[in-house]
Chain A
Amino acid sequence: MSQRWPKFRDKSRALPVVRDRVAAELPPGKLFPADDEDLIESGLIDSMGWVGILSGLEDITGVQDFGNPWPPNRPQSVRALAELLCEAPGEDAEAAASRSARSVAPGDSWVNLTGWGYALGRIRVEAAGVESKCALAPGTISGRAGIDTVCYAGQSEDEISLGFDAAEAALAKAGVGPGQVDVLVATSATWIAFPSLAARLHSRLILDESCGAFDVGGACAGVIHALATARAILLTGRKVALVVAAEINSRPLAAAPGEFRGLFGDGACAFILSRSGASTPGECRLGNFISGCSGAHASALRLGLTGVGSVTVEFKGEELVGAAITALDRVIQELEAESGTLRTEVDWFALHQANPRAFRSLANRANIPLVKSPEVTRYTGNLGSATCGVALCKALEKAEADHHGERHKVIFVGAVGPGLLWAGTYISIVTSAAASTGQP
């Protein structure tokens, strides 16, 4: 939560704020107490009212968990509340450190990926099973598309539950509590209900009410749009963002042609983005974004999702794969220019993969070693927006294990979506040596 406390550092300004909150909780007919009177012991306010006062002050000041727990041997009075309001910045070393980081001017800071996680549908089906289920000739999924297994959501799983699990993993990895998240950006091509996925996740995760929540689109490119949006918001002064991409393809595509739906699985990924002002080894700095849209291939994939059992699909597979490969190659070229890193110098690639065969074609054409590109769809099926996200999680895991050496490690991230949309970004992992020399 962003702090708004500095304007209350002066007690003369804090007292009226506290008095207002106390007045709002006083039962009708009770006289306003003296500033030093203990509100609880005097019976003026009950515990429910006390909680209301603290919550109200937390709302006004933005100081998280204001007055919790209450300092021992201190009266629960108006004056003590005002004093606590003034002291808030210095009472806790951890909070002070956090506040210090928050005080970095937006222009002097950058955004790091500090946490990540993913969750896959818990039912794993071998390619032969998928072919049988989708009434496809044997070898269509395994041989032609190169998929070994597809992950499907269980009965109790949906975009929210998978998104929640991924977000929890990302929060834990970043060591960030739900109350610290300033904004949640979600993306999903398969969530077609209101409240939005972001709103439902906001509630499920018990994020603070002052944390914003909204969805962005882009289908398979959605996760990069969400990362770009979140980064832009953080650079305006917010501190922590949560990005979630979640897709349950198996349900809305249940009525789609077998050769199309057989390629898709269910999964989610999540990322914690934090604004930082200090260079530390291992930090994963999110670079600039590139994006575009080439309408020439708009009809290669048209999909109308209107609920389970009702879907219209226009799918020109070969044309789409060809266009996607061309677009991803272009993404890589633009990222080379944007990052100043040649593709031959890149350490890992986290790219959208429509299917493993298309991915290998791209690797071949774009001169990307497969060993530097975590494969996702071979083991899960196409997870839509989560495909590139899960590949990024895997690349970050590898990067985390190897952040030594003389120079930054670099990950290129790219995806394409129907339209044909394309988007990309890069991540620089600061090595020990680079951090000590103060390299940006």
Chain B
Amino acid sequence: MPEIIISDITMMSPGYCIIGLEPDGRDSFRSVRPMPFDRYAWLDPFMFNRGDCVRCQFAPAVLRAPHFEDRQARSLQRTGSILNEGDLIRRLETAEVSINLEGLFGCSLESDNPRGNFWIDPSKGQRSICGCPYHNIRFRVFQDPKGLRLRAELVLASDERLRSLPVVDRAWGQFLAQLVKLCAEDKITFSSKTMNFLNRQVTEKLRKSPNRFARIGLARAREGKCWLMLDSLFPQPTGDWLKTLEPARNRNWQKSP
């Protein structure tokens, strides 16, 4: 039974979409997207984490461009091996990688407005996932009916920018949820101070990390467009990062009336 390393876990209603790495030659890997037989997403509770090595039996899936990585899979079984973040990134660096916008999906990126996210024509995309080292990142938080959602602006190694990427990375979604919960507990408005925390303390941790790597994925085609998403953002956030918020909580935050 083939073995893969789970590299990406993204939020996809009603559960999670995953991508794994399978060997592609001696020293390199390629991405595959194991999916349950009847849907795209694995339902909650989903007990796996990034870096988990799993066995899964694949069956051919009906492939629709540009999601050529899709595979139908029965259950996922742990092998017991787990890669740490650094080792996972070393492998991701041997899989699909681009240092610029043009190389991400093998076609041009389109945009509907000068500050909006990019999309591609599904028929032109060569793949639906690609890794990239990045120089810098800035977060923004938007409201939608299910709550606050994180978006990011990412500066690639070429100094080209990916604007307004929805962050669908499960770990970052959980991090935002923790942040929102902290605000609620302290009756603190999710204000510009919180954005300062994200865009100063958190981005500084990212910029200083040797594991500065992102994976950009494509959403399923809708009305002739596949929108870009931030599938994985390394380093992954940890609960410890929120501790640096404490002084700000005590001193600066604006209390709700």
Contacts and interface: CB of A to CB of B under 8 A. Distances in A.
A135 B176 CA distance: 57
Interface string A53-71: 0111011000001011110
Interface stretch (A198-206, A296-304, A423-431): A198-206
Contact of B196 (A50, A55, A177, A206): A177
A293 interface: no
A69 B190 CA distance: 7
B140 A204 contact: no
A174 B200 CA distance: 13
A69 B166 CA distance: 15
B199 to A, nearest CB: 7
B143 A55 contact: no
Nearest to A165: B207
A163 to B, nearest CB: 12
Nearest to A38: B145
Interface in A155-175: 160, 164, 172
B114 interface: yes
Contacts of A51: 116-117, 142, 151, 164
Contacts of A55: 113, 115-116, 164
A160 B114 CA distance: 24
Given A47-B149, A56-B113, A69-B141, A92 B200 contact: no
A56 B115 CA distance: 8
Contact of B161 (A24, A40, A94, A203): A203
A27 B190 contact: no
Given A40-B144, A65-B195, A206 B113 contact: no
A92 B195 CA distance: 14
A206 B153 contact: yes
A48 interface: yes
B159 interface: yes
Contacts of A206: 136-138, 153, 155, 161
Contacts of B114: 59, 209
B191 A92 contact: yes
A62 to B, nearest CB: 13
| Consensus secondary structure, chain A interface | helix
Given A52-B113, A94-B192, A204 B142 contact: no
Interface string A203-224: 1111001000000000000000
A56 B164 CA distance: 12
Interface in B78-124: 112-117
Contacts of B148: 69
Contacts of A41: 145
A58 B155 CA distance: 21
A44 B205 CA distance: 38
B223 A204 contact: no
A97 to B, nearest CB: 12
A54 B116 CA distance: 10
Nearest to A208: B115
Contact of B142 (A54, A177, A200): A54
Nearest to B135: A204
Interface string B191-232: 110011001100000000000000000000001000100000
B186 interface: no
Interface of A: 24-25, 27, 40-41, 47-48, 50-52, 54-56, 58-59, 65, 67-70, 76, 92-95, 160, 164, 172, 177-178, 195, 200, 203-206, 209
16 contacts: A47-B142, A47-B149, A50-B142, A51-B117, A51-B164, A52-B112, A55-B113, A55-B164, A58-B115, A65-B192, A70-B143, A93-B254, A177-B199, A177-B200, A195-B159, A204-B155
Given A47-B144, A172-B200, A206-B137, 8 more contacts: A48-B117, A51-B117, A52-B113, A52-B116, A59-B115, A67-B143, A69-B190, A200-B159
Closest 6 CB pairs of A and B: A70-B143, A55-B115, A203-B159, A47-B144, A206-B138, A52-B116
